Structure 1
Amino acid sequence: MKKIFMLSGTVFVFSMNAQFSVNIQTQPDFNEQDAVLYTLNGSKDIIFTKEKNKNNSWTFKYPKNYSGMMKIYFPNTNNSVSFISENKNVNIKLETKANKIQNIIYLDEANELMNNIQESSQKKEIILPALAQIKEYYKDNTEFGKALISEMGKLSGTNSVDQTKNPFVYYYNTNYNKFLSNDSSKKATQEEIVNFIDKSNDMLESSSLLRPLLVSYLNVGGNTNVSTSVDTLINRLNVETPRGQTVLSELIDIFDVYDMNEFKTKYLTLAKNLKCTINDRLASTLKSNAATDLGAVFPAYKFYSPVNTTAKTIADVKADKKVIVFWSSTCSHCENELPKLLTKYKDLQDKNIQVIGLSLDTDKNSYTTKIAAFPWINDSELRGWNSSFAETYNIHATPTYFILDANNKIISKPNHVGDVLEYLKLK
């Protein structure tokens, strides 16, 4: 797809008086010991803590109020399950087979409600248009015609949510339908989006709505008004506030994803020059960008299971230059670009330039099949976007390239394989 923390001691002290708990149950044959609990800040998963398997279950005690998206990640089997918190106990049962999650059973009321609404919305988007086409061929007074009308009525209906009982479910679905629905007649204006982001409560950051809202906001403004749109938004929010900084961080990442380097540079510079206290979300963005900026020494990485090398780390690889490419076997742009790198591989070797491919794959068979054609150094943790290097190297999309000198200093960050070959004078 082309360019789309540890628990503190004080939290441990309060864990005996948890606000709510998260309990995950699995079958006895699920071969996993560790589970990691994440909360959400904007579009970034934030590690809360890790627990060990006890009788095929994991129980997390959460010590404070939290309403929003959460995730459990099983690092050894690379499984994950997403759910919501209404600041009440969460209870989930996982049906598994061959160490893979086959089915998720939500046992608490809030997650069961949210799941039913999501399933209903999917049916409405996929099935309702098809039924509308079929209906044209049947008269309303026939048995099948009546059945079609009945089913279309059910799918067209809205799901009623008690805001006082399930405030996050109400918040998420109401605002998703208002601002992000595929219904073109309901498209929100920029002013409506700005007002919502400005006045919304803390559930905005934990809802997963913020990133798509910002993309929608920029799309409504158009490609010729990006700076004006962004300046209007961040001036309204004030970049010295936590929300203003979180939004600024998200925008910098969006510009990175879509190769909008001019805008990324402008607003990254704005963030660097802030004199106020920086929140964790923006601090993380500044840190990851500084670590992978031109002139920086490429952050250390220890190979997981490397192929075509005896080196233990990237720094151990000796070459006049190194081309680092982050890719995936499911990435269509990688499918187009990496063969072009392959055709020049002999020329790269002649110049003592080494290629190192770091894959964000999850399927071992797909990864192994693909690298059989790539003679350069290959490595993968087989954890997809949960791979450790995704955060370390500020990777938002594949393929992403870096060119290093002999001392592992970043000397170029090409956007495409053609830029790589041109920089190395091989085009």
Structure 2
Amino acid sequence: MKKLLLASSILLSTYSFSQFNVKVEIPSYLADSEVYLYGFNGSKEILYSKAKISNNIASFKVDKQYVGMMRAFFKKVNSSVNMVSENKDIMFKMDLDSNNKISNITFQDQTNQLFSNDVELQKKQELILPALIQIKDYYKPSESFYKSLDSEINALSSKNLVAYEGHPFLEFYNKNQKYSNQEKVAELKPEDFINFYSKSGEYLETSTILKPSLINFLNVSKANVEGNVDKLLDAVNLETPRGQTILSELIEIFSTYGMDKLKDKYLTQANNLKCTINDRLASTIKANKNTEIGAKMPNNTFVNAIHTKAKSLYDIKASKKIVVFWSSTCSHCEAELPKLLEKYDKLKAQNIEIVGFSLDSSLEDFKAKANLYPWVNDSEGKGWYSSYGDTYNIVATPTYFVLDADNKIVSKPNHVGDVLDYLKVN
């Protein structure tokens, strides 16, 4: 009996700690790159594994069951490869083009071969199919070229649903993409979305469909957004993980688009829940509490700071601080940060300091741009995977906060003009 129990425990251990592997044949240029594998919970990406690289093979071990979309991120080239996990081993190889952009991705597992074919078909449907339909109008049905065009149009317009047998996630993903496709929103009503969210099976959260479909739901609900959101939340039940994930997504969407009244209403509803709160909603509640007016902004220990010898945000002493989250690739930052630079001497004269946190993936790009500005700047070099998002509720760049001498948030301006107006700097 003891031997049987021991054998069982070994089997359980193997099952628990080695669910599946992902192996990628990479160019030698990436042999020293950090490579990360992410899964999804709604729009939030969850780190599942960091690659071990040997002999130009990047290997990931995933020790948890996971079915859904995944993404391998290659930090050195700041690029990713999307794939589908069915909790089975995945293998692919890839090249880099002359600009070090990922190219020629070739999957060896059947699931991702199907997924890749679908992606390619979708591109053709979006780019080629409309042109073929227009061209066909110039020919007569009796002409051979018309028949060839008609045949190609039919081929591009149809999907081989039989191929999805045995691939339930791919079947779910392809069947329900209409909810996240902006071009097909006109065909749907708010009730269609509510029915979809309340009756979808286990794959919704890992499909990457949730957030774009919620944005589409809000668009088709524009005549009565609040009323339809209330109906949706009743239907999905806020005492369930799905209901709380949807509530979290909605709060973040309202925050992103400046719909403050709705954000405040549903954030209050989240705070008043008496049931167990899932991690996703808990992080949304915490991030908003961290950054509400009057809250003491959480400290941040610098990791790659320039223009300072200070070790953290709290070490910067000033009567007021402007904290700005930005990126070298952000066009709005390009337009707004020079306006802060113009007023920097006046700000300094009033004992006001600026502290920037960059959401750049490349530290080289961060430093090249940050050196143009004389104020304190720091970056983790992790892009949107930086800790800033969860800690400070950052959903867009630039995002501004004004702190007092005790690091309490006294203002959350929307634009650089609002920052300067609040501080009365002309």
The TM-score bracket by the shorter chain reads 0.7 to 0.9
- Give the TM-score normalised by structure 1: 0.87
Which letter does structure 1 place at the counterpart of 2:111? A
User: Cα 1:76–1:292, aligned 2, differ >3 Å: closer, same or farther?
Assistant: farther
Report how far residue 294 of structure 1 moved.
Answer: 2.4
Following the alignment from structure 2 to structure 1, what is the Cα–Cα distance between the partners of residues 242 and 277? 11
Contact 1:326 1:398 in 2 (8 A): yes
Following the alignment from structure 1 to structure 2, what is the Cα–Cα distance between the partners of residues 91 and 282? 34
Q: 5+ unaligned residues in a row in structure 1: which ranges?
A: 1-9
Following the alignment from structure 1 to structure 2, what is the Cα–Cα distance between the partners of residues 411 and 250? 26
Contact 2:25 2:92 in 1 (8 A): yes
| Aligned ranges 1:133-212 → 2 under 5 Å | 133-136=134-137, 147-177=148-178, 179-184=179-184, 187-212=187-212
Report how far residue 91 of structure 1 moved.
Answer: 1.2
Query: What's the CA shift string for 1:90-132, capped at 9, x where partnerless?
Result: 1122324687634422111111111110111112112222334
Question: Which residue is 1:376 aligned to?
Answer: 375
Cα RMSD after superposing both structures = 2.8
Following the alignment from structure 1 to structure 2, what is the Cα–Cα distance between the partners of residues 63 and 388? 24
Question: Which residue is 2:27 aligned to?
Answer: 27
Following the alignment from structure 1 to structure 2, what is the Cα–Cα distance between the partners of residues 62 and 320? 49
Question: Which residue is 1:7 aligned to?
Answer: none
- SS at the partner of 1:414? coil
Report how far residue 185 of structure 1 moved.
Answer: 7.9
Following the alignment from structure 1 to structure 2, what is the Cα–Cα distance between the partners of residues 257 and 199? 27
Contact 2:49 2:62 in 1 (8 A): no
User: Cα 1:272–1:334, aligned 2, differ >3 Å: closer, same or farther?
Assistant: same
- SS at the partner of 1:290? helix
Of structures 1 and 2, the one scoring higher in RCO (CA 8 A, sep 6+) is 1
Does the alignment pair 1:131 with 2:113? no
Moved more, 386-395 or 237-246: 386-395
Determine what percentage of the aligned residue pairs are the same residue.
49
Report how far residue 295 of structure 1 moved.
Answer: 2.7
Question: Which residue is 1:85 aligned to?
Answer: 85
- Give the TM-score normalised by structure 2: 0.87
- SS at the partner of 2:324? strand
- SS at the partner of 2:165? coil
- SS at the partner of 1:104? strand
Report how far residue 24 of structure 1 moved.
Answer: 2.5
- SS at the partner of 1:47? strand
Count of residues paired in the alignment: 415
Contact 1:38 1:49 in 2 (8 A): yes
Question: Which residue is 1:115 aligned to?
Answer: 116
Contact 2:333 2:398 in 1 (8 A): yes
Contact 1:306 1:378 in 2 (8 A): yes
Following the alignment from structure 2 to structure 1, what is the Cα–Cα distance between the partners of residues 424 and 119? 51
Question: Which residue is 1:287 aligned to?
Answer: 286
User: Cα 1:198–1:40, aligned 2, differ >3 Å: closer, same or farther?
Assistant: same
Report how far residue 411 of structure 1 moved.
Answer: 1.9
Which letter does structure 2 place at the counterpart of 1:194? I
Does the alignment pair 1:47 with 2:51? no
Moved more, 226-235 or 143-152: 143-152
Which letter does structure 2 place at the counterpart of 1:121? Q
Query: What's the CA shift string for 1:249-295, capped at 9, x where partnerless?
Result: 11111111111111111111111111111111111112222222223
Query: What's the CA shift string for 1:199-251, capped at 9, x where partnerless?
Result: 111100110111111111111110x5222121111111111111111111111
Report how far residue 17 of structure 1 moved.
Answer: 6.2
Following the alignment from structure 2 to structure 1, what is the Cα–Cα distance between the partners of residues 50 and 327? 28
Report how far residue 14 of structure 1 moved.
Answer: 4.6
Query: What's the CA shift string for 1:40-61, capped at 9, x where partnerless?
Result: 1111111234343233334334
Report how far residue 143 of structure 1 moved.
Answer: 6.5
Following the alignment from structure 2 to structure 1, what is the Cα–Cα distance between the partners of residues 242 and 142? 56
| Aligned ranges 1:249-264 → 2 under 5 Å | 249-264=248-263
Question: Which residue is 2:409 aligned to?
Answer: 410
- SS at the partner of 2:265? helix
Report how far residue 186 of structure 1 moved.
Answer: 5.8
Which letter does structure 2 place at the counterpart of 1:172? Y
Contact 1:32 1:74 in 2 (8 A): no
User: Cα 1:363–1:135, aligned 2, differ >3 Å: closer, same or farther?
Assistant: farther
Query: What's the CA shift string for 1:131-180, capped at 9, x where partnerless?
Result: 34444556666666555444333322334354431111111011003x23
Question: Which residue is 2:241 aligned to?
Answer: 242
Contact 1:86 1:168 in 2 (8 A): yes
Following the alignment from structure 2 to structure 1, what is the Cα–Cα distance between the partners of residues 306 and 63? 44
Q: 5+ unaligned residues in a row in structure 2: which ranges?
A: 1-9
Report how far residue 398 of structure 1 moved.
Answer: 1.0
Does the alignment pair 1:272 with 2:271? yes
Report how far residue 340 of structure 1 moved.
Answer: 2.7
